[in-house]
Amino acid sequence: MSNRFFLGLFRAVSLLMVLVALALLSAIATMHFAIHGAEVQVPALKGMTVADARSQTAGMGLNLDVDNRYYSGDVAAGHILSQSPAPGTVVRREWRVRVAESLGPQKVDVPGTVGNDQRLAALQLRRAGLDVGATAHLPFASAGEGTVIAQDPPAHAQGIERPSVNLLLAAPENASADGYVMPDLAGMPIVTAQAVLATVGIQTETPTFVDVPIPPVGVGGASPVPPTSPGSVVSQQPPAGARVDQATLVKLTVAK
């Protein structure tokens, strides 16, 4: 065979290899743009109105969900308080961005529902612009089944965070409890308070001990305020009246 034949064959093979290489590079580039073109950075939404945030995220191929609503004295009603994922996070298009919406400062007065049946209590809360939160049942002989025996937050509470009220309902004496009313432990010796909680299987964190100032002697005929006894409870979390169960870990602050 002539050299010309081998030279032509070599050129054909070389051209074929170049074409294959170009096709491979093109495929890689296409995959790169397909992958990275489907990714976006989550924008900063805090402080925006929900409508503006929804418009911006929709334009980026993201979905906006309002997960929660809270009262806020700092962020105007209808504006976004927080978001997840955080701003700058790289996500795929169609990703769901979850936000919390501000309801503005608390303006509603929390109604007192204790003593009412569950349906009436729910109606009272709805009329006030509040929702029924978690409900629990506790055997309680002094009230009819379904009667509200405690609520959290309590009536007329200020500075509440969520627009909802948790209810503790009376159950028949032979029913199993799925929750308890948090008692007022203030002033009790820490040992007594822990024993009260332990009787229903509720545990406490390691107590926090604090210095408590001695109150001034009564002036102008006012009755003197007795000093806080060392070892007694000065505050508690959750507060008195809150719904608790055996998974609740109670935090007690105690006078030194």
Looking at every residue in the chain, the average pLDDT score rounds to 83
* 34 secondary structure, DSSP code: H
- Answer yes or no: are the C-beta atoms of 181 and 149 closer than 8 Å: yes
pLDDT in tens, 47-95: 999 999 999 999 999 999 998 899 998 899 999 999 999 999 999 989 9
3-state SS class at 99: strand
CATH annotation of 39-102: 3.30.10.20
pLDDT of 167 over the 70 cut: yes
- Answer yes or no: are the C-beta atoms of 137 and 118 closer than 8 Å: no
- Answer yes or no: are the C-beta atoms of 248 and 202 closer than 8 Å: yes
CA distance 48 to 66: 13
- How much is the pLDDT for 103? 93
pLDDT of 26 over the 80 cut: no
CA distance 154 to 69: 20
Please name the helix (run of DSSP H) or strand (run of DSSP E) that holds residue 150, with its range, or none: strand 148-152
Confidence of residue 198 (pLDDT cuts 50, 70, 90): confident
Which segments of 102-209 does DSSP mark as H helices, in order?
118-127, 190-198
- How much is the pLDDT for 154? 85
pLDDT of 256 over the 60 cut: yes
pLDDT of 184 over the 60 cut: yes
Same fold, 39-102 and 180-216+225-255: yes
First to last CA, the chain: 107
Report the topology of domain 180-216+225-255. Trypsin Inhibitor V; Chain A (3.30.10)
pLDDT of 196 over the 50 cut: yes
- How much is the pLDDT for 33? 47
Report the topology of domain 118-171. Trypsin Inhibitor V; Chain A (3.30.10)
pLDDT of 141 over the 90 cut: no
Give residue limits of the domains in the chain.
Answer: 39-102, 118-171, 180-216+225-255
Report percent pLDDT > 70 for the chain.
82
Name the E strands within 187-245: 203-204, 208-210, 233-237, 243-244
Report percent pLDDT > 90 for the chain.
43
Which segments of 37-131 does DSSP mark as H helices, in order?
50-59, 118-127
- How much is the pLDDT for 204? 93
Interval 206-226 mean pLDDT: 69
pLDDT of 34 over the 70 cut: no
Higher pLDDT, 137 or 115: 115
CA distance 159 to 201: 31
- Answer yes or no: are the C-beta atoms of 170 and 145 closer than 8 Å: yes
- How much is the pLDDT for 211? 86
- How much is the pLDDT for 57? 94
pLDDT of 29 over the 70 cut: no
- How much is the pLDDT for 219? 52
